[in-house]
Structure 1
Amino acid sequence: MKAITLLSSGLDSVAALAIAAESLEIEMAITFDYGQRAGQREMEYSEKVCEHFGIEQRIIKLDWLGEITHTSLVNRDEEVPSLSFEDIDENSPSMITEYSAKAVWVPNRNGVMLNIAGSFAESRGCDYIVVGFNGEEAGTFPDNSRDYIQTVDNAFSYSTQNGVKVLAPLAEMGKTEIVKKALEAEAPLEYSWSCYHGGEIPCGKCESCVRRARAFKNIGIKDPLLERLGI
C-alpha cells in the first residue's frame, strides 16, 4: 500500500508520517507555501524530515491563497494571539481557543491541499493521503474532524478513479498522546516546527507552541526541538 503525505513539519504532520511509515510505503511528501509566517522554516524543516525518511519532497506554491487570506497566519498586519497553558483544555474548546482558531484561519486551506494531493495520489497509484488531523484541534478546527475526513473520502470516491482515501492516524488523539506515539515511532521531532512564526526559535506563546509545550510537560520529557536548539 502506498501513500502521499501532507507535510508542514509541524508536530502532527511529522508524527502522522512516522506512524504511517511503519506500515505504508510513503511515495512523496507535499509541502505547501502560501505565504504563511513560518513558511520558510516549515520548508526547511520538512526537507530535513524527508531526508530522515528518504522520501521525495514536492513544494507547491499557492500564492493566490495567501493573497485572499486576511487573518494573522499570513497577514503580518494582524496579531497572532498569545495563549497560556490555562487557556487550553485538550478535551474541549474555550472562547479563547475558538478566537485563536478564527485568528489564524486560512480559507478552505485543507480542502485545497487535499484536492491537490488527491491528484498526485491518483496519478501515482497511491491508496492514501496521510494527514496530521487530530482530535484535540478538531474542537476548534472542523476540518480536522472525523466527519470532515469521511466527507472528503466520499468526494474522492467520485473524483478519483482509484478511490483515494484520507489516512489520519491521530484523528482520535490529543497532543499528549500524539507526542507519546511520535516518540514510540521514533519521529524526528527535533526537526518539527509547530510555531506560527518563523523566527530562529519558537515563540512559545502562540496556540500551536503552547499546545506542544503542554504535551511535553504532561509526559515529563524535554522537547527534542528545544534540546537541539539549546533552549
Structure 2
Amino acid sequence: MFDTVVVLSGGMDSAVLLADCVDKGQTCVAISFDYGSKHNACELPMAKALCDTLGVTHTLVPLPFINDLFDSSLLQSGDEVPDGAYDSENMKSTVVPFRNGIMLSIAAGYAESVGASRVVLASHAGDHAIYPDCRPEFNQALGQAINLGTDGQVTIAFPFAHLDKRDIGDLGRTLGVDFSATWTCYKGGHAHCGTCGACDERKYALRHTDGLDPTTYLK
C-alpha cells in the first residue's frame, strides 16, 4: 500500500518533490503522463530512472488525445517553442489547455485505487502567472472537487506552491538530487537548447552563473 502518489514528469521540480517525499518517509508511487509534448521523450526515461534509483514504483499513462486535439506549442502537433525570457507574454503559447486538471484527476483515481490518501504536484509560484491550472485558486477548487469525488478518501497537495524555482533547486541540492538526470528544455532536442524560456528558468533555478548548474546547454 502507498500513502502518496507523486505526479512525476522527469523535470527538476517533480524530481525534487519525489526525493523530498521519500526523504520524509512517505511511501510513494509515481505516475507520469505521455501526452505528446516535444520533450516527453527526453524527460520520461529520466522519471523512470529516478524511480528505479529511489526504489519507487513508476506508472506511465499515455494520453495521445492531448496531442491530437489540443493547441499548444509545447505539443508535437503545435508551433515552434519560442525563445526568450520565461514571462507570460513569451510563454503563453506553451499552455496546454487544462493539462493539470486532466492529470490530477487521473492521479486521484489511481490514488483511490491503490489506497493512497494524497496526490502531490510540484507546481510552484513561478508558474502562477502563466499557467491557469497552476494558480492557487485553481488548486483549491480542484482539490475540493477531488476530495468530494473520492468521498473524502483523496486530497491533493502542492508543497512547492509558495516557492520559486531557485528555492526548489536549492532544496534538491540538499537532498542530493542529480539535476543532470532531469530534463527541462521544452524543445526536446538531444541537449538543453539554453535559449527557450524553460532553459532560462532552469539556469536561474540551478544558479548557472554561480557554476552550480550541471546541465549541458547548446547555447
TM-score of the two chains, using structure 2 as the length reference: 0.91
Instruction: Give the match for residue 131 of structure 1.
Output: 121
Instruction: Give the match for residue 112 of structure 2.
Output: 122
Inter-CA distance 141–21: structure 2 relative to 1 (3 Å threshold): same
Instruction: Give the match for residue 53 of structure 2.
Output: 52
Instruction: Give the match for residue 82 of structure 1.
Output: 83
Inter-CA distance 21–72: structure 2 relative to 1 (3 Å threshold): same
Distance, in Å, in 2 between the alignment partners of 1:54 and 1:69 is: 34
* Code of the aligned partner of 2:138: Y
Distance, in Å, in 2 between the alignment partners of 1:142 and 1:221 is: 33
* 2:67/2:77 contact within 8 Å kept: no
Shift of 1:207: 1.1
Determine which of 134, 138, 156 is the counterpart of 2:146.
Answer: 156
Q: Secondary structure at the match of 1:21?
A: helix
Report how many residues are paired: 218
Shift of 1:183: 0.9
Shift of 1:55: 0.8
Identical residues among aligned pairs (%): 28
Inter-CA distance 219–5: structure 2 relative to 1 (3 Å threshold): farther
* 2:6/2:31 contact within 8 Å kept: yes
* 2:6/2:120 contact within 8 Å kept: yes
Q: Does 1:5 align with 2:12?
A: no
* 1:20/1:169 contact within 8 Å kept: no
Inter-CA distance 163–77: structure 2 relative to 1 (3 Å threshold): closer
* 2:119/2:155 contact within 8 Å kept: yes
1:170-189 map, 5 Å? 170-189=160-179
Q: Which stretches in structure 1 are left out of the alignment for 5+ residues?
A: 89-96
* 1:3/1:24 contact within 8 Å kept: no
* 2:29/2:56 contact within 8 Å kept: yes
* Code of the aligned partner of 1:130: V
Distance, in Å, in 2 between the alignment partners of 1:162 and 1:208 is: 36
Distance, in Å, in 1 between the alignment partners of 2:4 and 2:154 is: 9
Instruction: Give the match for residue 69 of structure 1.
Output: 70
Shift of 1:31: 1.0
Distance, in Å, in 1 between the alignment partners of 2:176 and 2:120 is: 17
Q: Secondary structure at the match of 1:25?
A: coil
Shift of 1:76: 4.9
Distance, in Å, in 2 between the alignment partners of 1:171 and 1:25 is: 19
Consecutive aligned runs of 4 or more in structure 1 exceeding 4 Å deviation: none
Partner deviation per Cα, 1:137-181 (whole Å, 9 max, x = no partner):
112212222222211221112111343122222110111111111
Determine which of 216, 219, 222 is the counterpart of 2:206.
Answer: 216
* 1:14/1:49 contact within 8 Å kept: yes
- Quote the RMSD (CA, aligned, Å): 2.1
* 1:49/1:188 contact within 8 Å kept: no
Q: Secondary structure at the match of 2:206?
A: helix
Q: Secondary structure at the match of 2:128?
A: helix
Distance, in Å, in 1 between the alignment partners of 2:103 and 2:212 is: 32
Partner deviation per Cα, 1:48-69 (whole Å, 9 max, x = no partner):
1111211111111111111112
Distance, in Å, in 2 between the alignment partners of 1:20 and 1:178 is: 13
* Code of the aligned partner of 1:25: Q
Q: Does 1:201 align with 2:191?
A: yes
Inter-CA distance 218–173: structure 2 relative to 1 (3 Å threshold): farther
Q: Which stretches in structure 2 are left out of the alignment for 5+ residues?
A: none
Instruction: Give the match for residue 91 of structure 1.
Output: none
* Code of the aligned partner of 1:49: L
